[in-house]
Amino acid sequence: MESLPPRHAAVHAAISRGDADALRRALANGGSPNIYDPNTYGIAPLMRVCWAGQNAPELVSILLAAGADVNAIHGNNLSPLSEAVNKGKLACIRVLVAGGASLTQECSGLTPVEWMSASANCRRVLPLMLRLGSPLPRLEAQAHGRTRRWMRYGHTPFDAIFYQILLDYRTKVAAAGSWAAYERAHRARLTAIFVNKFPRLPADAISHIVGLWAHTGHY
């Protein structure tokens, strides 16, 4: 097996332990934020964080500040954002997008949001991605030379239940024209319910409260 020079191996080792201080030291000692590990699917440090690292948001921030390529395609044919979406790592997604990760870059024919899996966070991943500006996932796309149906694995009842929930949500957003338009309409509907119940509060205040309380646009 091919081995990395110690200064680069230290970067990967720190990430595997979720040790932010050790990662800073490894980078300061000449470790690269972009060196690929040939023994692990050819992934660079940023992908390792999104794949399996602990303390992911902090580690991602450290690597981006050190010059990690946020849109690199790795040996597993994914970008860091596609992997974070696939793993349901919400905080990691936010940091990556803030750091310049592309919401439209295709990996093996699929955009990041189309790499969603039926993870425990899938009901939160799709609204977050749309709010950040991601295009709607296509229901069918060509990936790995075959037609892939979004989120439809069919292995367990869990997958089928979440697929239908997310499909219904996607349909509502598409009908509104955009996530922002859906969020505005959702907030307006809820505000209309409460405005007569609290006549002493201005409608704008109720709208603001509703937005904070109900996470409008996310359901």
pLDDT tens for 147-190 read 888 886 555 666 777 888 899 999 999 999 999 999 999 999 99
The answer to whether residues 96 and 183 belong to one domain is no
Query: Which pLDDT value is given to residue 150?
Result: 86
The answer to whether residues 151 and 62 belong to one domain is yes
* Both tokens assigned to 51: 């794949």
**Which one has a higher pLDDT value, 27 or 194?**
27
Query: Which pLDDT value is given to residue 173?
Result: 96
Torsion-angle region of 212 (φ positive above 0: left; ψ -120 to 50: alpha; else: beta) = alpha
Residues 71-116: pLDDT tens digits? Answer: 999 887 889 999 999 889 999 999 999 999 999 999 988 999 999 8
Chosen domain end from 121, 142, 165 = 165
CATH number at residue 78: 1.25.40.20
**In terms of Cα–Cα distance, which of 92, 76, 66, 64 is closest to 36?**
76
The proportion of the chain whose per-residue pLDDT surpasses 70, expressed as a percent, equals 95
Asked if 169 and 148 count as a contact pair (C-beta separation under 8 A), the reply is no
Query: Which pLDDT value is given to residue 164?
Result: 86
Domain count, the chain: 2
Range of the domain at 213: 177-219
| Confidence band for 125, pLDDT divided at 50, 70 and 90 | very high
How confident is the model over 194-201, as a mean pLDDT?
87
Mean pLDDT of the chain: 89
**In terms of Cα–Cα distance, which of 26, 28, 29 is closest to 48?**
26
Residue 198 pLDDT greater than 90, yes or no = no
The answer to whether residues 161 and 209 belong to one domain is no
The answer to whether residues 105 and 190 belong to one domain is no
Residue 2 pLDDT greater than 90, yes or no = no
First CA to last CA distance, the chain: 48
